[in-house]
Chain A
């Protein structure tokens, strides 16, 4: 199917009303969940429910208005999906807060810190970033001018946690910086900058990269002289792996890069090469840790061992978290225990990395599948935007954003359900964590901006429709 045919099928309808209805439903679920967890854990609806609901409605309302007036043709489903996830995440974090408060009260200890208000604040910052993105970037093609700036800024952000004095090591990984009392993960922002760079770079270089070199096993492998970028991406990922001990981010960057490279060049040879390099790198890291005892890779070996043999007493420490997570999923079963009725606090880091385990326990398989499908819808809308987008730069940007969500969701939920080894990544929009929330809201704004462009009727339309114009072929701008 050619691009032209695809573009023909695009409806010029704005669908903002549909978005509003979906947003109201999403808000209903979020506020309802917030009320339910209060009743289930403490026996009464939390006193902050009104301010919480008002705050959320206000934020979402503003976001909707900005979309309505600044990106009227944008995809109507993305924003409601994001609001639902973000709202549910707030309710779950509130639920974990309540458990912690209750435990402290029973033990007669001081009131612990609660995280839901901070998450709500971060949601506000995220929505602000979303709005700023939509207002400032009137056309996504403007970003192409910042290709190399994005590269330098992105790499600088990635390296920031390694700077002594502001870099913070937590749970073995060095991916945080602390500045003026605030800590954030620069990698989350770097995510978007690197997509901007990859897209700008690939749209220019794709012809050269698409040139086949040698044929091997039915695959057209790229020319050796074009290997530079993929090698660079590979080394950067390895560096993240080694120096920051962050398996998740490494997989994410390399995966997104390889996918964008493949889409730009349409050469499966790049996928093959990238896959081989990834598997080889992972295998080397595992061997380096287990056979050569290089401590820089020990975290990888621990994760792999905990994944392969979680119940082996030798992995008791490394596997504790994943075992507790599995127990949570099993306890939830088909329909879940009900919000507030499980024991999700038994899973360490339930608020951030393991929030999917809380969903599995309290909302059951049904809830977990619903969440997975929501992510599936977000990724699918991103891919659809890429398909219908008329400029190649926009296509690559959209593919990059969709891939970030797809890979991140697969890696983190696959990790907590023991499908693949565990890697530390946040669950987009659900997990507690400011930088992740803000960055993901900005990514969604970028996606909406591209989809607004893609779905907008072509600027130059044929003359006003007459009776016989209905059968006329619409001329589409390439």
Chain B
């Protein structure tokens, strides 16, 4: 029998070798894949056991961790949650991470490669590792001003420093409280998440960067930029401005906002057309410039490009394949043109910055747990949208809009302000969107602001960019320049 016993022994050895090999495979080769899986609670529990670093605005921690006595150890808290919720996002062991909590997770959690040496030291000294901190570019005064000025209206505000692309303010309303989603009580998290998810106002959406709206007349800045850049037009070029523009191929006639002429005569200069936001003049201008030039100009300002991915910003769109009536409508920011408030802020900021559009960013600085700076974000150029000359002409035209046109409500004593109103039609059953894109001071720009108001408790005829959105922009600009 010994021969067969030896064979059985070999067979058992093979079985045990298979167990050993498989254990090696799982615990060494497959381990990192398994540890990275989203539903792996162990890694989350580990993360919660470490002190997560703060998210800072100015000298204030808007997101920070406090120690608790329960299993998850550290609880994430948010200061001024309504004000900063769309930026910080939330940190929830049920729902995962959102916003900058997600984008900057490796630094906040202390797992970033740049913290490697620190982690080794922690390991050797048996100290619980800590996360680094993230400082935002937000100007707290501008943020608060935008928040207050929006009031109870549904809408969004973005303010950018034109020379760098720093986001100075980003507010979206209605807003939400990330504290509710970051608690340690799974039931209350789920209840809050359901309540927020069921809300038709979609309070969790960051309208400032994620929702695309028809930009309406604020898009005339792009059309004007394309016309001036073509060299065939200048601010004084006379444009036909009939009360109605008969669009070929359709039975539809384009009208001006107040159903009349834009000026005393059926012809206006480009500057006057922008000041009065003359639809027929700009539609005609767009047809002359052509869809190709218009699209290229829009893309130079950032349409169709991805940026600010840490806040999951949406890409703005200038449609492809336009026929004549569609081109006419697109020239005044209607049809399928869609832009985020952030995108329109970038258009103003680009004009303010001599035609150079800067890459927008919201993280100014990343530091280690010892507050040693790991990285400072350098401003980067996205593109040269227009020449300095054209930018100067556009600036003059925008100042004229505020001084003599529809942008009058934004005037600030002693400061020259550049702006453009917009009132974008949606479907007939919905009120139009009120827009304002602006920057100040016009001669030495410190801030560019875009405002959109989706819904306000006023009558339909009361809705216009100048009346609703401009005062909000004004409040933000005053907060930044201190006037």
Which chain A residues have a beta carbon within 8 Å of chain B's beta carbons? 1-3, 6, 103, 106, 259, 262-264, 266, 311, 323, 326-334, 342-343, 346, 360, 364-365, 368-369, 372, 375-376, 379-380, 383, 386-387, 392, 395-396, 399, 402-403, 406, 409-410, 413-414, 417-419
Q: Of the candidates A103, A379, A410, which one forms a contact with B71 in the assembled complex, judged by CB atoms under 8 Å apart? A: A103
Please provide the chain B residues from 90 to 138 with a CB less than 8 Å away from any CB of chain A in the complex.
none
The listed residue with most A CB atoms (<10 A of its CB), out of B6, B15, B28, B42, is: B42
Contacts of A419 in B (CB 8 A): 18-19, 22
B39: A residues at CB distance < 8 A: 323
> Do residues B27 and A365 form an inter-chain contact, with CB atoms below 8 A?
yes
Binds A, one of B29-37, B236-244, B312-320, B467-475: B29-37
Give bound CA distance, A418 to B23, whole Å: 9
Q: Which of A259, A311, A331 contacts B35 (CB 8 A)?
A: A331
Given A368-B23, A410-B16, also A331-B42 (CB < 8 A): yes
Q: Mark B4-24, 1 if CB is under 8 A from A, else 0.
A: 111011001101101110111
Listed from nearest, the 8 A-B pairs whose CB atoms lie closest are A330-B34, A330-B31, A365-B27, A419-B22, A406-B12, A410-B15, A331-B42, A263-B4
**Across the interface, which residues of A come within 8 angstroms of B9, CB to CB?**
380, 383
Supply 22 A–B pairs (Cβ within 8 Å), ascending by A: A106-B69, A263-B5, A263-B8, A329-B31, A330-B33, A330-B35, A331-B35, A333-B27, A364-B27, A365-B23, A365-B24, A365-B27, A368-B27, A369-B20, A383-B5, A383-B9, A386-B1, A399-B8, A406-B15, A409-B19, A410-B16, A417-B19
Contact indicator B2/A387 (Cβ below 8 Å): yes
Q: List, in ascending order, chain A residues with CB within 8 A of B2's CB.
A: 1-3, 6, 387
Q: Give Cα A137–Cα B109 distance, bound, in whole angstroms.
A: 63
**Tier of interface size on chain B:** 35 or more
Q: Are A343 and B45 in contact (CB under 8 A)?
A: yes
Q: Does B374 contact A (CB under 8 A)?
A: no
Interface residues of B (CB under 8 A from A): 1-6, 8-9, 12-13, 15-16, 18-20, 22-24, 26-28, 30-35, 37, 39-43, 45, 69-71
A380 to B35, CA, bound (A): 35
Are the C-beta atoms of B27 and A332 separated by less than 8 Å? Answer: yes
Q: Kindly state the separation between the CA atoms of A6 and B6 in the bound complex, as whole angstroms.
A: 12
Inter-chain pairs besides A376-B13, A379-B16, A387-B2, 15 sampled, C-beta below 8 Å: A2-B2, A3-B2, A326-B34, A330-B33, A330-B35, A331-B34, A331-B40, A333-B31, A334-B27, A383-B5, A387-B6, A395-B1, A410-B18, A418-B26, A419-B19
Contacts of B24 in A (CB 8 A): 365, 369
Decide if B15 touches A263 in the complex (CB within 8 Å). no
Q: Is the CB of A106 within 8 A of B70?
A: yes
Contacts of B18 in A (CB 8 A): 410, 414, 419
Nearest residue (CB) in B for A375 is: B16
Q: CA separation between A399 and B8, bound complex, in Å? A: 9
In the assembled complex, the Cα of A360 lies from the Cα of B27 at a distance in Å of 8
What is the bound-complex CA distance between A364 and B26, given in angstroms?
A: 11
CB distance from B143 to the nearest CB of A (A): 38
> Are A266 and B1 in contact, CB atoms less than 8 angstroms apart?
yes
| Other-chain residue from A1, A311, A365, A392 in contact with B28 (beta carbon distance below 8 A) | A365
What distance in Å separates the Cβ of A309 from its nearest Cβ neighbour in chain B? 15
Return chain B residues, CB-CB under 8 Å to A264: 1
Chain B facing A: main interface SS: helix
Residues of chain B lying within 8 A (CB to CB) of residue A410: 15-16, 18-19
Tell me how far the C-beta of A447 lies from the nearest C-beta in chain B, rounded to whole angstroms.
14
Q: How far is the CA of A406 from the CA of B14 in the complex (A)?
A: 11
Of chain B, the residue at the smallest CB distance from A261 is B4
Contact in complex: B19, A372 (CB < 8 Å): yes
**Minimum Cβ distance to chain A for residue B353 (Å):** 49
**How many angstroms between the C-alpha atoms of A329 and B22 in the bound complex?**
11
Most buried by B among A259, A327, A399: A327
A346 to B31, CA, bound (A): 17
The answer to whether B42 and A343 touch across the interface, beta carbons within 8 angstroms, is: yes
Contact A266 to B42, CB < 8 A, known contacts A106-B71, A372-B19: no
Nearest CB of A to B387, in Å:
55
Q: Would B1 and A330 count as touching, CB distance under 8 A?
A: no
Residues of A within 8 A of B35 (CB): 327, 330-331
Max count, chain A CB within 10 A of own CB: residue among B1, B40, B45: B1
A413 with B19: CB separation less than 8 A: yes
Complex: chain B residue closest to A330, CB-CB:
B34
Q: Decide: A334 near B28, CB < 8 A? Known: A259-B8, A327-B40, A346-B42.
A: yes
A417 and B1 within 8 A (CB):
no
CB distance from B222 to the nearest CB of A (A): 45
- Closest Cβ of chain B to A131, distance in Å, is 29
B113 to chain A, nearest CB (A): 19
**Cross-interface CB contact of A395 among B5, B30, B42, cutoff 8 Å:** B5
Q: Which listed residue, B12, B22, B27, B69, touches A383 by the CB 8 Å rule?
A: B12
- Give the shortest distance, in Å, between B122 (CB) and chain A (any CB): 15
- Scoring B16, B35, B41 by chain A CB atoms within 10 A of each residue's CB, the highest score goes to B16
Query: Are A327 and B42 in touch, CB under 8 angstroms?
Result: yes
Point out the residues of chain A lying under 8 angstroms from B70, CB to CB: 106
- A260 CB to nearest B CB, Å: 9
Q: How far is the CA of A330 from the CA of B30 in the complex (A)?
A: 7
Residues of B within 8 A of A417 (CB): 19, 22-23, 26
Q: Which residue of A lies closest to B26 (CB)?
A: A329
* Bound form: Cα–Cα A3–B12 in Å: 21
Contact B12 A379 (CB under 8 A): yes
Measured CB to CB, the closest approach of chain B to A275, in angstroms, equals 11
Q: How far is the CB of A418 from chain B (nearest CB, A)?
A: 7
Query: Shortest Cβ distance from A475 into chain B, in angstroms?
Result: 20
Q: Determine how close the nearest CB of chain A comes to the CB of B380; give it in whole angstroms.
A: 39
- Determine which residue in B4, B6, B22, B34 has the highest number of CB atoms from chain A within 10 A of its CB, and name it: B4
Do A386 and B28 touch across chains, with their CB atoms under 8 A apart? no
Q: State A383–B15 Cα separation when bound (angstroms).
A: 15
Whether the Cβ atoms of B5 and A376 lie closer than 8 Å is no
A376 near B8: Cβ-Cβ < 8 Å: no
What's the least CB distance linking B149 to chain A, in Å?
46
Known interface pairs A263-B5, A328-B42, A399-B5; A372-B20 also in contact (CB < 8 Å): yes
Whether B19 and A329, one on each chain, are in contact in the complex, defined by CB atoms closer than 8 angstroms, is no
Distance in Å: Cβ of A270 to nearest Cβ of chain B: 10
Closest Cβ–Cβ distance, residue A370 to chain B (whole Å): 11
For residue B291, give the distance in angstroms from its CB to the closest CB of chain A. Answer: 45
Measured CB to CB, the closest approach of chain A to B26, in angstroms, equals 5
Inter-chain contact B26/A330, CB cutoff 8 Å:
yes
- When distances are taken between beta carbons in the complex, the residues of chain A under 8 Å from B32 are 330
| Chain A residues in 8 Å Cβ range of B71 | 103, 106
B residues less than 8 Å from A414 (CB atoms): 18-19, 22
Please measure, in the bound complex, the distance between the C-alpha atom of A365 and the C-alpha atom of B24, giving whole angstroms.
7
- Please determine whether A343 and B8 come into contact, CB atoms closer than 8 angstroms: no
- How far, in Å, is B27 (CB) from chain A's closest CB? 4
Once the chains are docked, how many angstroms separate the CA of A372 from the CA of B42? 25
Name which residue of chain B comes closest to A346, CB basis: B41
**Min CB gap A7→B, angstroms:** 10
Q: How far is it, in angstroms, between the C-alpha of A240 and the C-alpha of B143 when the chains are bound?
A: 71
Q: Which residues of B contact A399 (CB under 8 A)?
A: 5, 8
A419 to B34 Cα, complex, angstroms:
16
Chain B residues positioned under 8 Å from A387 (CB to CB): 2, 5-6
